[in-house]
Amino acid sequence: MQRCICGTCPSFPGDDGFYCARGKSQNEVVRRGCICGDCENYKEFGLSKGYYCADGSAAEIEE
Ligand code: SF4
Ligand code: SF4
Protein backbone atom coordinates (compact mmCIF):
# COMPACT_ATOMS: atom_id res chain seq x y z
CA MET A 1 0.00 0.00 0.00
CA GLN A 2 2.94 2.36 0.64
CA ARG A 3 3.99 1.80 -2.94
CA CYS A 4 0.70 3.12 -4.35
CA ILE A 5 1.38 6.25 -6.43
CA CYS A 6 -2.26 7.28 -6.86
CA GLY A 7 -1.60 10.34 -4.70
CA THR A 8 0.51 11.84 -7.50
CA CYS A 9 -1.97 11.02 -10.28
CA PRO A 10 -3.83 13.83 -12.08
CA SER A 11 -7.09 11.87 -11.66
CA PHE A 12 -6.61 11.13 -7.93
CA PRO A 13 -10.03 11.51 -6.29
CA GLY A 14 -8.54 12.35 -2.92
CA ASP A 15 -9.12 9.48 -0.52
CA ASP A 16 -6.93 6.55 0.53
CA GLY A 17 -5.75 5.17 -2.82
CA PHE A 18 -4.78 1.52 -3.37
CA TYR A 19 -7.89 1.14 -5.50
CA CYS A 20 -6.60 -1.92 -7.37
CA ALA A 21 -7.03 -3.84 -4.12
CA ARG A 22 -9.65 -1.82 -2.21
CA GLY A 23 -12.00 -1.05 -5.07
CA LYS A 24 -13.62 2.16 -6.25
CA SER A 25 -13.25 5.53 -4.65
CA GLN A 26 -16.19 6.99 -2.76
CA ASN A 27 -15.52 10.20 -4.66
CA GLU A 28 -16.19 11.18 -8.23
CA VAL A 29 -13.29 10.57 -10.61
CA VAL A 30 -12.50 12.97 -13.43
CA ARG A 31 -10.35 10.99 -15.89
CA ARG A 32 -7.21 12.97 -16.55
CA GLY A 33 -4.91 10.00 -17.07
CA CYS A 34 -3.99 6.95 -14.98
CA ILE A 35 -0.41 6.34 -13.85
CA CYS A 36 -0.89 2.82 -12.45
CA GLY A 37 1.42 1.56 -15.20
CA ASP A 38 4.35 3.20 -13.38
CA CYS A 39 3.56 1.54 -10.04
CA GLU A 40 5.57 -1.38 -8.64
CA ASN A 41 2.36 -3.10 -7.58
CA TYR A 42 1.07 -2.97 -11.14
CA LYS A 43 4.05 -5.01 -12.34
CA GLU A 44 4.19 -7.29 -9.34
CA PHE A 45 0.55 -8.30 -9.54
CA GLY A 46 0.52 -8.54 -13.34
CA LEU A 47 -2.16 -5.92 -13.76
CA SER A 48 -3.21 -4.76 -17.23
CA LYS A 49 -5.96 -2.18 -16.81
CA GLY A 50 -6.17 1.03 -14.81
CA TYR A 51 -8.68 3.55 -13.43
CA TYR A 52 -9.37 1.24 -10.52
CA CYS A 53 -10.50 4.33 -8.62
CA ALA A 54 -13.37 4.72 -11.08
CA ASP A 55 -14.06 1.18 -12.29
CA GLY A 56 -13.35 -1.10 -9.32
CA SER A 57 -10.64 -3.36 -7.97
CA ALA A 58 -8.41 -5.56 -10.10
CA ALA A 59 -10.34 -8.59 -8.87
CA GLU A 60 -13.51 -7.01 -10.26
CA ILE A 61 -12.27 -5.68 -13.59
CA GLU A 62 -9.19 -7.63 -14.71
CA GLU A 63 -9.75 -10.58 -17.08
S1 SF4 B 1 -1.63 -0.18 -9.36
FE2 SF4 B 1 -2.59 1.86 -9.21
S3 SF4 B 1 -4.19 1.64 -7.64
FE4 SF4 B 1 -2.81 -0.09 -7.45
S5 SF4 B 1 -1.36 0.49 -5.89
FE6 SF4 B 1 -0.46 1.04 -7.88
S7 SF4 B 1 -1.03 3.16 -8.27
FE8 SF4 B 1 -2.36 2.41 -6.62
S1 SF4 C 1 -6.28 4.16 -10.03
FE2 SF4 C 1 -5.18 5.10 -11.76
S3 SF4 C 1 -6.51 6.85 -12.33
FE4 SF4 C 1 -7.10 6.24 -10.28
S5 SF4 C 1 -5.89 7.56 -8.94
FE6 SF4 C 1 -4.77 5.62 -9.18
S7 SF4 C 1 -3.33 6.01 -10.84
FE8 SF4 C 1 -4.91 7.60 -10.94
Domain that holds residue 57: 6-61
In a domain, 1, yes or no: no
pLDDT at 1 over 90: no
Please give the Cα distance from 59 to 22 (Å, whole number): 10
Ligand 2 pocket, 4 CB below 6 A? no
Choosing from 18, 55, 57 the residue with most ligand 1 atoms within 8 A of its CB, the one to mutate for a pocket test is 18
In a domain, 49, yes or no: yes
Interval 2-26: pLDDT, tens = 999 999 999 999 999 999 999 999 9
Tally of domains within the chain: 1
Interval 29-63: pLDDT, tens = 999 999 999 999 999 999 999 999 999 999 999 98
The pLDDT assigned to 63 comes to: 82
Backbone angles phi, psi at 43, to 5 degrees: -70, -45
pTM, 2 dp: 0.96
Please give the Cα distance from 42 to 18 (Å, whole number): 11
Q: Looking at ligand 2, which atom is closest to the CA of residue 35?
A: 7
In a domain, 14, yes or no: yes
Please give the Cα distance from 18 to 16 (Å, whole number): 7
In a domain, 55, yes or no: yes
DSSP conformation class of 23: -
In a domain, 19, yes or no: yes
Q: Is 33 helix (H, G, I), strand (E, B) or coil?
A: coil
